[in-house]
């Protein structure tokens, strides 16, 4: 496949059959300096992404001619381009399936343009770190181990008791922030700062939602998982080992 542009001139492929979303998201991304290429269906996107590989692709799940899941499946046969899904479904099964297929993150509709831009930055940042590591022979992987928890930042992998736990970019960054200093309480604002390049103005319930999803994913692997503690009115901490 042709080489992608360097990340400091990132090109974003936006695939959605809603032209209002194509227009509004394109404006938001271009205002941040990104190049944007738009597609209205999966078939044209697959052809375009093959000919002009972007640095990141934002895919709607529900589209005519080829949905986002099928598009991702075909992309992963020959490309490791980072992918963010746009979804209006309130169904975690779709998210887990997409993540297992190789998606990097999900953003649920309706969403703020700023939130999507910050999520794009986070995914591109991780992709940049991964590519840098791949070009550095003999470099040791940066992993964090806290008891039964092992997190590899460069590979974006997480295991608990040897079992893989599939996390979104935001969930990974929040958990990593907590696990770096077991026993230390992190406020919601501190956790949001850890997950994004700059402060995002969101409701406190946003972090609460991420924590709830983290617990659910770990309990699916270990029903007795209780390492993320809530200090009501203060924040969260990773239990000391």
pLDDT single digits (tens) 158-211: 999 999 998 877 788 899 999 999 999 999 888 887 776 554 445 567 788 889
- What do you get for the CA distance between the two ends of the chain, in Å? 46
* Separation between Cα atoms, residue 66 and residue 78, nearest integer Å: 17
Q: Is the pTM of this model over 0.75?
A: no
For 133-225, list the strands marked E by DSSP. 143-146, 149-152, 157-160, 163-164
Same fold, 7-134 and 143-238: no
State residue 136's pLDDT score: 57
Q: Give the right CATH number for 7-134 from 3.40.50.2300, 3.90.1170.50, 3.40.47.10, 2.30.250.10.
A: 3.40.50.2300
Between 81 and 127, residue with greater pLDDT? 81
Q: What is the pLDDT of residues 82-111, one digit of tens each?
A: 899 988 756 555 666 776 677 888 888 888
Average pLDDT in the chain? 84
For the chain, the domains span: 7-134, 143-238
% of the chain surpassing 90 pLDDT:
47
* CATH placement of domain 143-238: 1.10.10.10
Q: Which residues contact 213 (CB under 8 A, 6 or more apart)?
A: 92, 171
């Amino acid at each position: 496949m042709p080489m992608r542009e360097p990340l400091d001139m990132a090109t974003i492929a936006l695939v959605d059959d809603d032209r209002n979303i194509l227009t509004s998201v394109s404006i938001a991304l271009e205002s941040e300096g990104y190049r944007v290429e738009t597609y209205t269906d999966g078939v044209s996107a697959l052809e375009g992404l093959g000919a002009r590989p972007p640095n990141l692709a934002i895919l709607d799940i529900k589209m005519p001619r080829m949905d986002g899941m099928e598009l991702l499946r075909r992309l992963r046969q020959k490309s490791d381009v980072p992918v963010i899904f746009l979804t209006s479904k309130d169904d975690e099964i779709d998210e887990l399936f997409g993540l297992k297929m190789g998606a990097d993150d999900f953003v649920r509709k309706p969403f703020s343009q700023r939130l999507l831009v910050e999520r794009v930055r986070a995914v591109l940042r991780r992709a940049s770190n991964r590519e840098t590591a791949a070009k550095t022979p003999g470099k040791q992987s940066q992993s964090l181990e806290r008891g039964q928890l092992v997190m590899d930042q460069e590979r974006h992998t997480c295991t608990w008791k040897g079992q893989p736990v599939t996390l979104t970019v935001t969930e990974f960054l929040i958990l990593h922030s907590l696990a770096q200093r077991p026993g230390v309480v992190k406020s919601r604002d501190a956790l949001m700062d850890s997950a994004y390049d700059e402060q995002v103005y969101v409701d406190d319930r946003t972090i609460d939602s991420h924590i709830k999803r983290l617990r659910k994913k770990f309990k699916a692997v270990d029903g007795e998982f209780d390492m993320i503690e809530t200090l009501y009115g203060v924040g969260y901490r990773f239990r000391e080992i």
